[in-house]
């Protein structure tokens, strides 16, 4: 579970983010790991599928849901790598699927849940809240996301400002 290993798996997620970028989707990628092994990966397809909930993390979880369930029943360790701090929907899916640990790249100052205090939630949610490790390949993730936003200033200008404000504090 060292940083080098986290970087290795984040690179797989980041490659999915790059693929998303090249097809015009929001550049976010995710990869699933069970007991140390890579299970699969996917990228955001909100534009391609014209479906706003098609986030990388949600797609990966859905695709490998039965593998996750099997792993949890065998008390194996389930980890999700994502280039961007998960949103409310994806954190919900992470909690429902009892994912043990989430490793993310960049904080999302607009929609991220990584900095949320789970004590504010009811017991089931706070009890299944994952361990979180942030900042893995943060700068690469930030650069790709903000490049995407800069190219779509009209739609993304406000969110881009939030990202740029955040960066000043790094």
Find, among 15, 25, 72, 74, the residue nearest to 46 by Cα. Answer: 25
Phi and psi at residue 120, to the nearest 5°:
-75, -10
Within 37-56, which residues bind Zn ion (CB under 5 A)? 55
Q: What is the chain's length?
A: 170
d(CA 163, CA 146): 8
Q: Decide: 108 and 96 in contact? Cβ < 8 Å.
A: no
CB of 31 to Zn ion, least distance (A): 15
Q: Decide: 73 and 65 in contact? Cβ < 8 Å.
A: no
CB of 73 to Zn ion, least distance (A): 26
Query: With respect to Zn ion, which residue has the nearer C-beta, 11 or 89?
Result: 89
Catalytic residue check, 164: no
Query: With respect to Zn ion, which residue has the nearer C-beta, 76 or 133?
Result: 133
Query: With respect to Zn ion, which residue has the nearer C-beta, 59 or 137?
Result: 59
Within 77-96, which residues bind Zn ion (CB under 5 A)? 87, 89-90
Looking at 57, 79, 153, 164, which residue is catalytic?
57
CB of 147 to Zn ion, least distance (A): 20
CB of 103 to Zn ion, least distance (A): 15
Question: What tokens does 73 get?
Answer: 């029943």
Strand pairing report for 37-43 and 78-84: unpaired
Query: With respect to Zn ion, which residue has the nearer C-beta, 76 or 109?
Result: 109
Helix (H) / strand (E) element for 5: namely helix 3-22
# binding residues, Zn ion (CB under 5 A) = 4
- List the catalytic residues: 57
Which residues would be at the binding site for Zn ion (CB under 5 A)? 55, 87, 89-90
């Amino acid at each position: 579970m060292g940083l080098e290993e986290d970087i290795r798996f984040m690179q797989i997620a980041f490659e999915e983010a790059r693929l998303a970028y090249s097809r015009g989707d929001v550049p976010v990628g995710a990869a699933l790991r069970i007991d140390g092994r890579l299970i699969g990966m996917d990228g955001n397809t909100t534009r391609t599928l014209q479906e706003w909930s098609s986030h990388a993390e949600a797609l990966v979880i859905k695709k490998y849901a039965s593998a996750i369930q099997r792993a949890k029943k065998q008390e194996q360790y389930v980890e999700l790598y994502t280039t961007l701090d998960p949103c409310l929907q994806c954190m919900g899916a992470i909690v429902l699927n009892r994912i043990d640990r989430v490793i993310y790249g960049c904080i999302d100052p607009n929609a991220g849940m990584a900095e949320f205090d789970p004590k504010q939630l009811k017991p089931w949610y706070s009890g299944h809240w994952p361990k979180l490790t942030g900042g893995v390949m943060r700068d690469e993730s930030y650069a790709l996301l903000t490049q995407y936003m800069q190219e779509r200033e009209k739609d993304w200008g406000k969110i881009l400002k939030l990202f740029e404000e955040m960066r000043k504090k790094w």
